[in-house]
Chain A
Amino acid sequence: KQEVTQIPAALSVPEGENLVLNCSFTDSAIYNLQWFRQDPGKGLTSLLLIQSSQREQTSGRLNASLDKSSGRSTLYIAASQPGDSATYLCAVPNYGQNFVFGPGTRLSVLP
């Protein structure tokens, strides 16, 4: 069974800092990896989807990389802003059917 972990569990940074969130998974035979953000009391918003054939994907200040062989993905957030405060989750397919989510990284960006 696919297992997903995320480090750190929580992170607090001053506005303007660049930061890296980490996601690890145990089964490298994945089609893709998806990063989400979740605001308190809300559903999940998709940020980036990296296909297995890609090594990275960018959207604005966000850059996600994928290293299947090592079972790792990182989400890089440049020039962080208070509006980036949320919980960030990564998800990978579980043998191609449902998805397994990591426990999330709770990010606070202080003004």
Chain B
Amino acid sequence: EGQVAESGGGLVQPGGALRLSCAASEFSFTTYEMAWVRQAPGKGLEWVATINRDGSEKHYVDSVKGRFFISRDNAKTSLYVQMNSLRVEDTATYYCTRVNFGGAFDIWGQGTMVTVSS
């Protein structure tokens, strides 16, 4: 079916930066769009960003536009998100997910926790 595994989370001060990575395996990475979805502690799911198959088209939720940048390396079957100017409200578990051909998120990782705090 395929797997994804996130890494790179941690504690960062407000205004700081962090880069999350997602390693994909057991599926044809270049065939699928990919996305990041986050979940603040005790809260629901929030879509963050999506990237198309060749990386030429990206979409972001308004709250992260200009601060977060999604990218992918198809040769390494990896997805990334560079998060700059981090805010306390960005504290969440960040999930990497595959976008199936219908637009649903059909493969999810276990998530990586990002804590923004002084």
Are A and B physically bound partners? no
- Give the interface of A toward B (CB within 8 A): none
- Give the interface of B toward A (CB within 8 A): none
